[in-house]
Chains A and B, each alone.
Chain A
């Protein structure tokens, strides 16, 4: 405990975040060994991992950089599609499953990061609410592009098509044909149960490692400086566009890896799963978590993914509840009673803000 006291406040908060993830992993492993996990919960484990990564990566954009992004699920879809295409097309070349999963995730992350840069260059020149509106639009555009893409594989290799009027048959696949992406039908024939909960856990740790180290370095300080006071940041020589783009691209890349992980858990995935409602769901995680708190976003992601599953009868009202939660939290930061309640819950856990004030 003496060691803990000597650490700086951010180090404590980071330690708590890692401890939360590792602790959660151990608890789940014990539960599954003792048969304490219901079947439906078991099916949720990997999606929850994916949503956790989505939540911490969006915290980087919304909480650390301070720009509202409403298209985060778009980057998730880029990761899902590119990652799965890599996973399937490399089946013959790399028989080792674990290695192939890693390469698929890296592909997903790289492609999403690249799209993040492409989207970020025009978007990050805007300010405030305009960023929210344009990211929303880009998220939808990306999703819609994937409903027009056709990818198939035969012995000759990969075949791509775009907006084919008579579907995937237009690709004229030869011997050993296998459809991977079939337009509006989305990803097909995803190899079953290739990814395990432990892989999801490792991916979360990797995402946390990248984001927390980025935030607590020179680049992270520059990003937070831009958030707190753009004019002052420029006056001390911090280039705005460069650091915003870095934060946005890293955030998008991790969302891409999360997308690959998410898709590998299912046998089919359609692009419309990554619509703006998914983006808003992730935003709800981040806002409920306290905007700048990675562990808060993680807890919110777990609760809001697992609870609706246990309270199935509420599923129809899920969006209504999210809406009410968002309004309450946004309003609560200004009104007194809820603010006090939030403060009370926050006082139970260490946060950077609180510790620094001491």
Chain B
């Protein structure tokens, strides 16, 4: 599938913004995601202003900032839950201006949600199969009349779903009801479901929220593993500084809807503006919601 997408890409290179923080490995390659002067207003409130970001094709980058900074709003703009008031979003150098949520997903953005949104009445396996929806191409009549295509694609979907679940050690839960899983497992299932859509960039909204330290460590390993196996980019929002500093190659700090700093984790850690706006509040991280 990613081959498919490759074929549609424009060949022309988009120049990187001067302040980009893309890791050396990805330099010179086309960015998977870029935003230019992105902004949105809710009534009188400017929730996001002049947001510029470039993400390399295999980069793990982080979006951090205090509560209410506008981080989730960025994800909602990228996935077209909200329509931007200003600016542009380029996905594989294609403007997503005219696309809706469904088309953005097909174009290669997958996400998880801060407040978990699983199909909680359905089984874990079905949740993943719903993520695979656009990759099992049989039609309604094939399904109703159980034509050969049904059996073929359902078997493929089952195998693929189990494969993805086992990356996160969840294959043994395939038949459980999604809503009945423990919190940490629900977060992991959301990631698996997002991965199932075959994205070129994965957006994770506070993936470690509610996880205990050992689960978080495992999650960090899994995020890196996913990036390495699927060769995709990851953009994550997280309040857990260990996770952010541990796996992110580039960081972008938001405060009151504006970027206040960009750079590598070590740069950010020592940036006085960031310390004032964010790291000073680190003690409260457990309260983040």
- Which residue numbers of A lie inside 8 Å of B, CB to CB? 8-9, 209-210, 213-214, 217-222, 224-225, 227-229, 231-240, 246, 353, 356-357
A227 CA to B110 CA, complexed, in Å: 20
Structural contact, B136 and A225, CB atoms closer than 8 A: no
* Nearest neighbor of A234 in chain B, beta-carbon distance: B101
Q: Which residues of A contact B123 (CB under 8 A)?
A: 356
Structural contact, B143 and A217, CB atoms closer than 8 A: yes
Judge whether B113 is part of the interface by a CB distance below 8 angstroms: yes
Structural contact, B121 and A224, CB atoms closer than 8 A: yes
Partner of B146, one of A213, A220, A233, A236: A213
Structural contact, A232 and B144, CB atoms closer than 8 A: no
Structural contact, A357 and B180, CB atoms closer than 8 A: yes
A214 CA to B287 CA, complexed, in Å: 44
Partner of B101, one of A235, A246, A353: A235
A122 CA to B157 CA, complexed, in Å: 34
Instruction: Give the Cβ gap from B261 to chain A, nearest Cβ, in Å.
Output: 29
Residue interface bits B107-118, CB-to-A below 8 A is 1, else 0: 000110100011
**A232 with B113, Cβ < 8 A, contacts A222-B130, A237-B102 known:** yes
The listed residue with most B CB atoms (<10 A of its CB), out of A227, A231, A356, is A356
Structural contact, B177 and A357, CB atoms closer than 8 A: yes
Structural contact, B119 and A232, CB atoms closer than 8 A: yes
A232 CA to B129 CA, complexed, in Å: 13
Q: Which residues of B contact A222 (CB under 8 A)?
A: 130, 133
- Which residue numbers of B lie inside 8 Å of A, CB to CB? 79, 81, 100-102, 105-106, 110-111, 113, 117-123, 126, 129-131, 133-134, 136, 138, 140, 142-146, 150, 153-154, 157, 175-177, 180, 193-194, 196-197
Structural contact, A235 and B130, CB atoms closer than 8 A: no
Partner of B105, one of A218, A220, A227, A236: A236
Structural contact, A236 and B144, CB atoms closer than 8 A: no
**A231 with B81, Cβ < 8 A, contacts A9-B175, A221-B122 known:** yes
A251 CA to B86 CA, complexed, in Å: 43
Query: How would you classify the secondary structure of chain A's contact residues: helix, strand, loop or mixed?
Result: helix
Q: Which residues of A contact B154 (CB under 8 A)?
A: 217
Q: Which residues of B contact A353 (CB under 8 A)?
A: 121, 177
Instruction: Give the Cβ gap from B150 to chain A, nearest Cβ, in Å.
Output: 7
Instruction: Give the Cβ gap from B143 to chain A, nearest Cβ, in Å.
Output: 3
Instruction: Give the Cβ gap from B233 to chain A, nearest Cβ, in Å.
Output: 17
* Nearest neighbor of B129 in chain A, beta-carbon distance: A221
Between A and B, 13 residue pairs with Cβ closer than 8 Å are A217-B138, A217-B142, A217-B144, A219-B140, A219-B143, A224-B119, A224-B122, A235-B110, A236-B130, A236-B196, A236-B197, A237-B133, A238-B130
Structural contact, B177 and A356, CB atoms closer than 8 A: yes
**A236 with B150, Cβ < 8 A, contacts A213-B143, A353-B121 known:** no
A236 CA to B130 CA, complexed, in Å: 7
Given A214-B140, A237-B133, 13 more pairs with CB closer than 8 A? A213-B143, A217-B140, A224-B122, A225-B119, A228-B122, A229-B119, A229-B120, A231-B117, A234-B100, A234-B101, A235-B101, A236-B110, A236-B130
Q: Which residues of A contact B106 (CB under 8 A)?
A: 237
A218 CA to B158 CA, complexed, in Å: 12
A233 CA to B111 CA, complexed, in Å: 11
Instruction: Give the Cβ gap from B122 to chain A, nearest Cβ, in Å.
Output: 6
Q: Which residues of B contact A8 (CB under 8 A)?
A: 175
A233 CA to B118 CA, complexed, in Å: 9
Structural contact, A218 and B117, CB atoms closer than 8 A: no
Structural contact, B143 and A234, CB atoms closer than 8 A: no
Structural contact, A234 and B102, CB atoms closer than 8 A: yes
* Nearest neighbor of A10 in chain B, beta-carbon distance: B123
